[in-house]
Chains A and B, each alone.
Chain A
Amino acid sequence: MPLARAFGVAALALLLSLDCAADTAPALGAKLVVVGKSGTPSVEGAAQGIAEAKQQGEFLGQQFELSIVPTPDAVPADGVAAILTTGQDDVARELAKRHPNVPVLNLAAQDDALRARCAPNLFHVIPSTSMLNDAVAQWRKQHPDAQVAARAWHPKFEKYAASQLNLRFEKRFEHPMDDTAWSGWAGVKLVTDLIAQTRNAAPAMLVEALRTKLAFDGQKGSTMSFRPNGQLSQPILLVAGEKIVGEAPVRGVADVDDLASLGESQCVP
């Protein structure tokens, strides 16, 4: 065989094999770790989220896995796409510091001070105290005498397919979905959605994508994204007794799509 022709055949074979490789690329996989206790609402929420990610992954050839570990020390040093924490400020801070290139998602700690530190890899799924306070303040402008509580989620919330999510959670765990169960679900779902979209589970890339590319459907009717301080923007529910009386931003007080009207987004150096 003349050299040129042999080269041509080899090049063609290489092209074909590359083409093949593209079609039969190894399935994308990602492992998430949640630091918390089995049976707590936020860990159950995370389990609900991973079940839904697996369901989506079946159609896209993507595999997701969630490990539950009891303490920050038990988080593996490598091979983790994202870490979720159900602990308070100190745990969230510690995890973000120990794993600087991995996204750490705070599911439970609500302090504004934690957000103001603006750790580049720390993301807050649960609303901050100032978001909840602003939601109540907006409501009181219209209803000065109303006693309402601000919540991230409520098991009786029905709009925007919230009833579907509540139903799925109750079916699986046989009790209602509360605020931290929602943040657990949302934390897993927003990470796995982004991995599915970008087809990339590299943790450093995820930190960047969470900051810049997120357009998440938290089943509360608005597109959710992270603020510069790492807080997830989201509507807040207003509850009186066991009844949902409104949503914030409160129509008539703020633009319903102006999620920035709730809470802070500043970083304090």
Chain B
Amino acid sequence: MRPVKSHHFMKGTAVKFFAPALLLCVAANCAAAPTNRLFVTNENSDNVSVIDLATNKVTATVDIGKRPRGIGRAPDGSAIYVAVSNENSIAVLDPQSLKVLRKFHCGEDPETFAVHPNGNIYISNENDAMASIYDPATGKLIQEVKVGNEPEGVAISPDGKRAIVTSESSNLIHILAIPEYKITANVLVGARPRAATFNRDGSIVYATSEIGAEVKKIEASTGKIIGHVPLADDKAKPKDILISRDGTKLYVAGGRANRVFVIDEKSLAVLHEIPVGKRVWGLAMNRDGSRIYSTDGASNQVSVIDTKENKAIAQIPVGDAPWGVAIDD
């Protein structure tokens, strides 16, 4: 990996830097080589910390705009998208050159979004009770779907056929069929559902409720609740949720509990509680599933979790109030 220097922010250099990668492409949809970087939004310092996965060091900090929160990676690795909440836009960041390529308007106060395998962005518009689908290449709005109050978490099934939107203040999980953009089920869950994820074949959804302090396991085709994990820790305010690459374990960011919960997918028993920094919200997993990175918002750090040892093996200082995390590996 190349070290990031300030000259990469200059236009001419960036183009030159890109040229070899472009030559390797034989089709329009060729994937960019992974940068092996972690991207972290810092909500209060209006920037993105860029971390080298090999050294666990911050190698660059990119100014992105006011109050960055949600972050995601284009399926082909060509872009990192950042929801710039107080600018009502999505910023498109080049993971190689670290230049902000453009920003497009995406409705009021964008917070969380998910990227569909076809590249489209599914975003919740918290103040309008809407979910919107955008084509990030053109910035064009493709579709709007009416959902409950304060929509927040968005997830898309690996096959791209279903999406989840959580409505925080209506306590609902909406299941959408794609490409019809129709709601097929509305599932009432515990208070303030914040985030969701699918299992590998897309048949099951797992959703966290922050105030209800629980995880619900839901059959995607019917919206039927098939399991329930109450988090006994009275400090637990769960947010992000991930499933292990082999599908046997769930990882839940515990918020004020300052730990990541490891839950058995079948028995739904809490197997481990991994202490991390304060107010842990964001989670990202590397490609082979050996590491999880958590944003510890009130500790201004990212924790690196070894999933075999079930412990944090490093803490990386980042900006003020780290929120979201995306990985390009």
Q: Which residues of A contact B (CB under 8 A)?
A: 52, 55-56, 59-60, 161, 164-165, 167-168, 193, 196-197, 215-217, 219, 222-223, 256-257
Contact = CB atoms under 8 A, between A and B. Distances in A.
B192 interface: yes
A interface majority secondary structure: helix
A47 B83 CA distance: 33
Interface in B175-193: 183, 186, 188, 190-192
B169 A197 contact: no
Nearest to A222: B211
Interface string B185-212: 0101011100000000000000000011
A60 B188 contact: yes
Nearest to B147: A59
Given A161-B150, A215-B211, A193 B171 contact: yes
B234 interface: yes
A52 B167 CA distance: 12
Given A52-B149, A60-B172, 6 more contacts: A55-B148, A60-B186, A164-B127, A215-B190, A216-B191, A217-B171
B235 interface: yes
Interface in B145-174: 148-150, 167-172, 174
A196 B191 CA distance: 12
A167 B191 contact: no
A72 B52 CA distance: 67
Q: Rank and list the top 6 A-B pairs by shortest CB-CB distance, nearest first.
A: A217-B191, A59-B186, A217-B211, A56-B170, A217-B192, A223-B211
Nearest to B108: A167
Contact of B170 (A59, A215, A219): A59
Nearest to A255: B235
Contacts of B256: 256-257
B213 interface: yes
Nearest to B192: A217
Interface of B: 126-127, 129, 148-150, 167-172, 174, 183, 186, 188, 190-192, 211-213, 234-235, 256
12 contacts: A52-B149, A55-B129, A55-B149, A56-B171, A59-B172, A164-B127, A164-B150, A193-B171, A193-B191, A215-B191, A216-B211, A256-B256
B interface majority secondary structure: loop
B269 to A, nearest CB: 22
A59 B183 CA distance: 9
A134 B235 CA distance: 22
A215 B236 CA distance: 14
B207 to A, nearest CB: 15
A257 B188 contact: no
Contacts of A219: 169
Nearest to B185: A59
A23 to B, nearest CB: 12
Nearest to B235: A257
Nearest to A164: B150
Contacts of B150: 161, 164
A60 B256 CA distance: 31
A257 to B, nearest CB: 6
Contacts of B234: 257
B230 to A, nearest CB: 10
Nearest to B126: A164
**Counting chain B CB atoms within 10 Å of each CB, which of A56, A196, A256 scores highest?**
A56
A223 B212 contact: yes
A197 B127 CA distance: 24
A217 B170 CA distance: 10
**Counting chain A CB atoms within 10 Å of each CB, which of B149, B150, B211, B234 scores highest?**
B211
**Counting chain B CB atoms within 10 Å of each CB, which of A55, A56, A59, A168 scores highest?**
A59
B127 A215 contact: no
Contacts of A168: 127, 149
A52 B192 contact: no
B169 A59 contact: no
B110 to A, nearest CB: 13
Contacts of A217: 168-169, 171, 191-192, 211-212
Contact of B168 (A161, A193, A222): A161
A215 to B, nearest CB: 6
B217 to A, nearest CB: 18
Contacts of B183: 59
Given A161-B169, A196-B188, A56 B149 contact: yes
B212 to A, nearest CB: 6
Contact of B127 (A55, A56, A59, A167): A167
B174 A59 contact: yes
A235 to B, nearest CB: 12
B232 to A, nearest CB: 13
Nearest to A224: B211
Contacts of B170: 52, 55-56, 59
Nearest to A197: B188
